[in-house]
Structure 1
């Protein structure tokens, strides 16, 4: 077969673009920090798989090591889904490193295990099995075992049919045709490509359609059907020009995604700064408690020393009258010393209580003073209110970061006032999302009614805000609100 032309190479690069954008969400260093603290659960398995893909071809040995560690941990904690995902990931990593012979066993094992899980989620696992068979076909094709490759491409087509995926079925038929073309079976290859084209057109996958049309044109050229081949090649060239234009639009979208990512990172840094400030307050409170304890011990030692000295004076005194006078003096002095100590302790206690109430709710602060810790509490009846803004991402892409933050601060400040009005406790904000709860830390039998009343007042405010924005010809967001009532477990971390 001929080498790929430059437009086709660009087209294949376009197919990898979404994966590349997704893979850059976390650096390998960030993933390694999270792995160092992650418990041996499904969360760590997912982190290991993500780390193996991030290491990729730049650090092949490390990539394989992470993939194998994910498989070992999945077996250790007896996670069937973890074993399946880890096997598929290990096979894919080895295949991308051109270690096709080593990639075959894990891919086969992954496909067989997924067949056992097929009744749980038929559509999901059928499509995943089809992908594994596609990779096995590629491996055997690279190993020059074309007959086995054809067998696995046929299996891919079978499971793509079960998953009702036109695109994956078209890929299977296109791969089958390419192998048949290499074997010189031009008529069979033409039939396979024709089937592939029909299903690719149903799926709307433009890049796949172009690749199939190119293969059809080559097949027709080889079978000396020059007139039809010329037409196919012209169609292919025309559509490649359209794809080239699409690449420019994809680049623009990528830049927009990068800007949004920077904005989200700015918001995350702000939240992390708030967390560090809260941690510093808690540390200062702990230090103040330790200092208070030291002062109390010093006062107690001073009292004991004063009593010892006064007792010594009494022993040295002679006479009953003098002894009685010294006893009275001792008692008065001790009472005054205890009074001063108690006043000092009371003052220190007031300072500690004021500091604690500045950081934590009164109920949580009382529990911390009583037991030295705050236990998690199950609340049987609470209502949690969630909000976000429809169209936030598209509007945010056209705004400067300062304008975006100013709009969010205006809206969230009003939401804070409304939640306080109806007795809701604000939990957090993430990007354009706002979260509050009714019914904790203080139980509220009317928690659902208060949450709904707050939601309605938020919506009324948003309606007036959108009207003002519209009159000023400014961008608007529509508010989406969700409320869920039921039991929760809450505590202080």
Structure 2
């Protein structure tokens, strides 16, 4: 029954988590949809800000940075200072969570300028404290000291005594980290002198005196001064219930007395330390007990009281066993907690990957729909062009049909006129040739033959009009027929000449008839020539229209080429081709990819000194050179984030040479920056320097986004490559141990040792010195 209840509860909780994840995913979809619908920059900035906060809640800090960066740029365009401040605050948090402390510092400095402009002193002071903390996290203690100095000036002006105490104490800690013990002592002394005049700060005063005692005793080796400050701290701690601190101080004083030969005082302090430690409820008492028992054992051994010394030493061993047991328990708890965190991280990664896949599928569907709409619009344009072409051809055919009908009508009219003329000529012949019936019959036969030939010619002319291309040949045939007719007429003339005296009237009529026939043929030829001229004009119009269509087709082709080039400028060729062919791009997993990160040190300082246009010009100059270098070494540029540049080798086409290619590209980038720096320094102009890191491993690559395509890569390899950059030095190429194993036979390297990286523990790192 209990098992059933437990399973039911687990299912309910799991269902709630799934519903919550789906609800959150719907929130993101809703925000993306709203972003695509709005047009003003202020509305877009507000929605991008909300999307960034969604990713912050989902712990997708890199995505948060991407969207907040866009929102920040839009807020700057609209001049919304409040929006800029809110966006920068979350960007600083995201950079801090990802371990990109230099970027967090740069954006915090931008935040300072806005807060100073709004005269918001409280927010300004808090941001300065955050910058100091970020410098400490980045182990840049010197820069943290500079910020604390500014805070000291501000707190003195405002007479903020408590904040001055904390800041001076922080300066003491920072100088101690830089092994500057004397300066650390001065800072702690300033803190305690101010703090002693503040009521209710006795416990803090004791802590400050303890720190000064540690510096005198352990750093400066001035034991009397150390004891003096320990005694002052003890007097303050005795006014509180902090028995652990009291026990520790008695033990420290006893150690000093033992070294100074004051055995009795040392023994008394050790016994007091033991008594106070036993009264302390925490596990911290065991450290003091162990040190005190060991001190008593050493004191009695020095007095040759070996029995008592052995008793104390046995108690020391007993306490030390307890400490070892506690240490083992602590280690076991840490291991258990570590396994629990790893399991939770694994579940979180699986859940995030599932969410990312759902988002990716959703974005692929939206992208596919958008591409289908674009393809549909293109098809509609093409169909419109084809429809216009068809209409133009139909109009041309109609015009040709009309011209054809005109020619047929003209031919029919000519035929009708011809028949009328023939009938008139026949009647005249009957009146004039009444006496010579035989000759008249022959003449009629001759006229019939000519009419027949003329009908044949007309039929041929009709065929000429239908075929158009054979018009010249048919005209030539008509001319040949005319020559034959002339020949026959000459033969007839010779025959009539013999019978001139008898048939002179018939000859005259024949001549008249011949002249009329020539005129009729001339009229027909003129009509044919006019028809041919009109046909040629129509052909010329068709050629002009075809030329216009070709011009339009060329313009369409040019626009298509421009679109393809624009797409290739945003996406790799293979990904762009897949988008064109399928309408979507499938995410790909790559087993070996070398990721390259760069970031400019001193960029913020230079940006303050130069005009914004000059900053963009210099940044564009450097990134353009990086683009050329990446193209030369077969490296794919992924994106830029502010003054950071990200590229990868081995994508979108996998290869095994990408570690070598990436390092060659990195060396050439550093060489370019060295030359650029030398040119700037020669002109007495400000400069910045380049940090560059490379790591090789497994990633997932693909296209994200709906309105603006973006080719991006994901995976732990990307995060570790970023750590290589932030842990590097200006002017150097810093690579991980995994990359080193792949290129150690090709490059000269310098082992830097195991260096701590944010969330990665200690990582082997190497500087690349050159090619073997």
TM range (shorter): 0.3 to 0.5
- RCO greater where, 1 or 2, for CA within 8 Å and sep 6 or more? 1
TM-score, L = length of structure 1: 0.43
Larger gyration radius, structure 1 or structure 2: 2
TM-score (norm 2): 0.29
